[in-house]
Amino acid sequence: MKNFYIIISENANVSVQNTKKKLIERFRSYGESVRFDVYEGYLGRDFQIPSDVDCVITVGGDGTMLRAARAAFGRPVAFIGINRGHMGYLTEVSEISDFDTLTERLVNDDFQIEERMMLAARVRRKGRNVFRDFALNDVLLGKNDSVHMMEYEVYVNGTLLNTYRADGVVVSSPTGSTGYSLSAGGPIASPSAKLLILTPICPHAINTRSIVLSAGDKVRIVPVSDHLLVSCDGADGTEVRAGDEVIVTRSSHAMRFIRLKEASFLDTLRDKMRVV
């Protein structure tokens, strides 16, 4: 790869700035044989990664990686993250001292690509789509207030699964299983798996649990309550009304992660679970 785009977290602490400085020094040492650019700050919904980029390097946490993924959706861009946040499940590199080796491997294509499935979401109102988006981690349907419990029906492939009273519901990809879904009591899945995880949030029922579905299943959520919001990967919420249909399926696009380490997902999970 010869064209890199470095995205720096808006929470640019000393560690982030030092990492940025070292990356810039290394890429400059290649002269005109390697091109790179740097963006620093918040990635809004309208932000787009330049079309000629081969590799995006994010410096920050999982939030930075998620927002970067949105900015290159549907394009064959490879991503690698340097963790300068908290948990950093999505970032490949946590501890780094040898920037020479890191950049050399990227420039010489000395790595593996791991594809992660993504989710597609839409909201239908009176027979027409009023919202479309996608997610690497999850699609959340939640309350737009902090007082009332919401009620919603869940259908899988057209069959009624259940009617829930809860604070919300999250539909997660395998990558997102270590995010909001996990906090809501959902299972952890290997990021290379192909499946959907449906997890009610604080359900008003003792026996309600997460459900693991096939990647080919179609989840349709019909809220009975008003004052709701749908959000993909934590982006700004969009209003959902009673009677709307929130439809979540597997996206036809995948995200490409660069893998440098030989460590398995279980090795990474063990290390992350030690963090308090």
In this structure, what are the phi and psi dihedrals at residue 60, rounded to the nearest 5 degrees? 160, -135
C-alpha angle 259/4/265, rounded to 5°? 15
Write the burial class of residue 34 (CB in 10 Å: 0-12 exposed, 13-18 middle, 19+ buried). Answer: middle
Separate counts of helices (H) and strands (E) for the chain: 5, 16
267 catalytic, yes or no? no
What tokens does 31 get?
A: 């002269």
The upper half-sphere exposure of residue 203, i.e. CA atoms within 13 Å in the direction of its Cβ, equals 19
Helix 99-107 with 14-28: angle, nearest 10 deg: 50
Element (H, E) at 103: helix 99-107
CA distance 42 to 47: 9
Quote the tokens at residue 100: 């020479």
User: How is residue 96 written in tokens?
Assistant: 């780094």
Which residue among the candidates 62, 133, 138, 244 is catalytic per the annotation? 62
R_g of the chain, CA atoms, integer Å: 20
CB of 82 closer than 8 Å to CB of 93:
yes
| SS3 of residue 88 by DSSP | coil
The pair of structure tokens assigned to 12 is 């640019």
Q: Distance between CA atoms of 139 and 47, rounded to whole angstroms?
A: 20
Active site (catalytic) residues: 62
